[in-house]
Amino acid sequence: MSTDHALESPRRFRFPTAFTILFGLIIVVAVLTWIIPAGQYQRVHNPALDREVAVAGTYERTDPNPQGVFDVIMAPIAGLYDPATNQANAIDVALFVLVIGGFIGVVSATGAIDAGITSAMKRLEGREKWMIPVLMALFAFGGTTYGMAEETLAFYVLLIPVMIAARYDALTAVAIILLGAGVGVLGSTVNAFATVIASNAAGIPFTEGIVLRLVILGLCWLACVIYVMRYAERVREDPSASIVYDMKAENEAHFLSGNGDATPEFTGLHKVVLAIFAVTFVVMVWGVLAADWWMGEMTGLFLAAAIIVGVVSWQGEQKFVNAFLDGARGLLGVALIIGLARGIVVIMDAGKISDTILHWAELSVAGLGAVAFINVIYWVEVLLSFFVPSSSGLAVLSMPILAPVADFAGVGRDLVVTAYQSANGLVNLINPTFAVVMGALAIGRVPYERWLRFMWPLLVILTIIIMACLSIGTMF
């Protein structure tokens, strides 16, 4: 065993984390400020967006301002809060992320999410195939509302034994969870870590484009459910049809041995907690639409909701605080990534190359119709997602550049946001740089290459759905 480990570990390639990639991009962009000509557009106030926007055709060269080592070091800090100008950049978004992490931590500590899913599974006992759409709908709800990803890792050990006992296989259980939450993120509606951050970076309310995102969510969810159900039924009728059939005996011994019957009870308290959880997101949408809320108010909402859940499920002040801090700690990396990614934009703006890149993008899409433009944007985001799997990191990196280009192409910025989140969500169903994918496959004992074999027809189907929806969206 030790020999195998010694042979394996040194040769195993580990893709850099999002932090390393983004800091490397800051360095690359700083170097580019010495190469790319500086330039600027004239800007006018856009009442609809309540912000300054570039005027097409007004680009002019300007004096360069190349960025050095000190600027690179300060970029992540200025990405959150610029001490030179006393300007808050992404600090409000980062704080929102930490507070919503605390809220999710408090809800999770009550056991309501575990108990709710277990209750749904028990109600469907004997009708196991209908567990697939029900569970995928629950996980999709988590994905579309708060970007459920890392939180899903706890459910694999719960669901895999149930699916194997129901004569399915481990891959079916992995697909239910990974595709369920993943398609929810792909069709994000009020997801703070994708839609809200990207819309903020694009300078639009996150509710713009929500109808199209709901359509994409519904169609892609339905495609995933049908795909997984068809595979699961084939396996149940003929176990040799399983992609992991050669591991059947090994997986049964691993997942079923010692699996007790104890399951969390779905109590009235759990129902109340889940009701508060759902109502919180409804209030957030109402606040943005009807009360002109933004990051500060939304942060206060989730802080208040966390306190309400803590009081309702009271287990003591110390446990409440620890649960909140654990939840916030779990998303600390996301908050820091927001500042790091925004640091790239800081360097580009200070080096006066943002408008030059925007000018090149304007020229590259010149003459493209709206349909061609939005599909090109989609594939650009697909490519970027392999290198920056973090939805929040990619949003802050790409939206400040790509969203303004939409103004020149006559396409709504909300479509660019939808293209970004759809592309990022799709790629993160298979992305080897995304820890959730590799962690899920490791827990489910599903080799990565077999996951790709299972996924590639579905990826084609989802891509067709997304591109068709984006194309139709340009007509409205």
Tell me, what's the pLDDT at 10? 46
Backbone angles phi, psi at 353, to 5 degrees: -110, -5
Distance of CA 141 to the CA centre of its chain: 13
Report pLDDT for 166: 79
CA distance 142 to 58: 44
The angle at the Cα of 120, spanning 117 to 124, to the nearest 5 degrees, equals: 140
Judged by DSSP in three states, 12 sits in coil
In this prediction, residue 232 carries a pLDDT of 94
**3-class SS letters over 420-432:** HHHHHHHHCCCCC
SS3 366: coil
CB 79 within 8 A of CB 346: yes
Bridge partner list, 81: 88
The DSSP bridge pattern shows strands 43-46 and 51-54 to be: antiparallel
Secondary structure (3-state) at 45: strand
Q: Is 315 helix (H, G, I), strand (E, B) or coil?
A: coil
Q: How far apart are CA 87 and CA 98, in angstroms?
A: 20
The helix/strand/coil state of 332 is helix
Task: Count the Cβ atoms, other than its own, within 10 Å of residue 374.
Answer: 24
pLDDT at 337: 78
Token couple for 183: 């398609």
The pLDDT, as a whole number, for residue 416 is: 95
Candidates 125, 107, 151; CA nearest to 270 is 107
Contact 396, 197 (CB under 8 A): yes
Element (H, E) at 5: helix 2-8
Indicate the pTM of the whole model: 0.70
Look at residue 292 in the predicted model and tell me its pLDDT.
Answer: 76
Q: Give how far Cα 447 sits from Cα of 6, 148, 304, 326, 430, Å.
A: 21, 23, 43, 31, 12
Rg for the chain, CA atoms, rounded: 23
Positions of the chain with pLDDT under 50:
1-10, 49, 258-261
In this structure, the number of other CB atoms found within 10 A of the CB of residue 459 comes to 14
Q: For residue 465, what pLDDT is reported?
A: 98
Smallest CA-to-CA distance from 194 within 157, 142, 245 is with 142
pLDDT of residue 263: 59
Q: Round to whole Å and give the CA distance between 236 and 244.
A: 13
CA distances from 134 to 225, 237, 321 (A): 9, 21, 33
What Cα–Cα distance (Å) separates residue 383 from each residue in 218, 269, 347, 424, 455? Answer: 24, 45, 22, 9, 18
Antiparallel, parallel or unpaired: β 60-61 and 39-40: antiparallel
Q: The tokens 């799709």 sit on which residue?
A: 426
Residues 6 or more apart whose CB falls under 8 angstroms from that of 62 comprise 38, 39, 40, 352
Q: Would you state the pLDDT for residue 6?
A: 41
Tally Cβ neighbours within 10 Å of residue 238: 10
The pLDDT assigned to 87 comes to 67
* DSSP β-bridge partners for residue 408: none
Report how far residue 115's alpha carbon sits from residue 119's, in angstroms, rounded to the nearest whole number: 6
